Amino acid sequence: MPARSARKTPAYVVRHSPIHGRGVFARRTIRQGARIIEYRGERISLDEAERRPDSDPDNPYHTFLFELHDGRVIDAASRGNAARWINHSCAPNCVPIEDDDARVYIEAKRTIRAGEELSYDYRLSVPGRITAKMKEGYACRCGASRCRGTMLEKKKRR
């Protein structure tokens, strides 16, 4: 009898999303607090990230960059995994958690039912003044009842 694979089937699947492009969907119920997937990719400096070409040349606002607390960035366009397809939502069911080793995991913020799209609040930070064109480019399409209209983090007032 052949040996069974020790590899577990992931709790998620990537497919077309009504929010934007591809999305990640629960294959089965995922319990609150469960670690779903690590956000993987090449670790680079913020300067290097700014030098690189856009993830999508047709849309400079589409990004696979995840900013870490130490100032570095995970570029999931290079050596990334399915986590890069998790879309933004203003009412997310997931939360990114960065551990002491600067590894980022996507965890369930609440119980997620099979078939539900996974999402987290991107809270994107961009340097400088936010223009009308940038606001349009980073517009949120999550459809949440209390959608704030943007994937950007609110600028702190001084």
Domain ranges of the chain: 12-38+82-137
Residue 130 has pLDDT above 90, yes or no: no
Taking only the tens place, the pLDDT of each residue in 76-88 is 999 999 999 999 9
Work out the average pLDDT over 10-31.
96
> Which three-class secondary structure state does DSSP give residue 3?
coil
Locate 45 and state its tokens: 């400096």
Which of 98, 158, 145 lies closest to 123, judged by CA?
98
State residue 8's pLDDT score. Answer: 83
Locate 98 and state its tokens: 């960065």
Q: How confident is the model at residue 126 (pLDDT cuts 50, 70, 90)?
A: confident
Q: Is 142 left (phi over 0), alpha (psi -120 to 50) or beta?
A: alpha
State residue 4's pLDDT score. Answer: 59
DSSP string, 110-121: S-B-TTPBPEE-
Out of 77-81, 95-99, 134-138, 144-148, which region has the weakest mean confidence (pLDDT)? 134-138
**Fold exhibited by the domain 12-38+82-137:** Beta-clip-like (2.170.270)
Percent of the chain with pLDDT over 90: 67
Distance, CA of 51 to CA of 66 (rounded, Å)? 15
When the pLDDT of each residue in the chain is averaged and rounded to a whole number, the result is 90
